[in-house]
Copies of this chain bind each other. A is one copy, B any other.
Amino acid sequence: MASYSTHKDDVLKRLRRVEGQVRGLQRMVEQDTYCIDILTQVSATTRALQAFALQLLDEHIACCVRDAMAEGGEEAAAKLKEANDAIARLVRS
């Protein structure tokens, strides 16, 4: 079970909206839309992806990381390192 498994439908709905944004970008290109307007939409799409990632990370820490920390030991350290690496990738991308 992943931390989002109880509300998969919401998560999928969010991703389908991002997919819709990317398809919207393709339509803009097909219609020779002005570059700057496309760039504005790319920024909106990037922010939507970031918001998705932040929610997923949020739930992951509240759920998987918490459980591992409750048990302690090597598993806890490994889960923490994994979460920190994911945060670093998000901050840097």
In the assembled complex, the Cα of A8 lies from the Cα of B27 at a distance in Å of: 11
In the assembled complex, the Cα of A35 lies from the Cα of B70 at a distance in Å of: 19
In the assembled complex, the Cα of A50 lies from the Cα of B91 at a distance in Å of: 8
- The answer to whether B4 touches A15 (Cβ under 8 A) is no
Q: What copy number does this chain have within its complex?
A: 4
Residue of B whose beta carbon sits closest to that of A2: B32
Instruction: Specify which chain B residues have a CB less than 8 angstroms from the CB of A42 in the assembled complex.
Output: 49, 52-53, 56, 90
Contact with B along A72-93 (1 / 0, CB 8 A): 0000100010111011111111
In the assembled complex, the Cα of A8 lies from the Cα of B58 at a distance in Å of: 28
Given contact pairs A36-B60, A47-B93, A92-B93, a sample of 16 additional A-B residue pairs in the complex whose CB atoms are under 8 Å apart: A2-B32, A2-B35, A3-B35, A15-B22, A19-B23, A22-B22, A35-B56, A35-B64, A39-B56, A39-B57, A39-B89, A46-B93, A57-B87, A58-B84, A66-B76, A70-B70
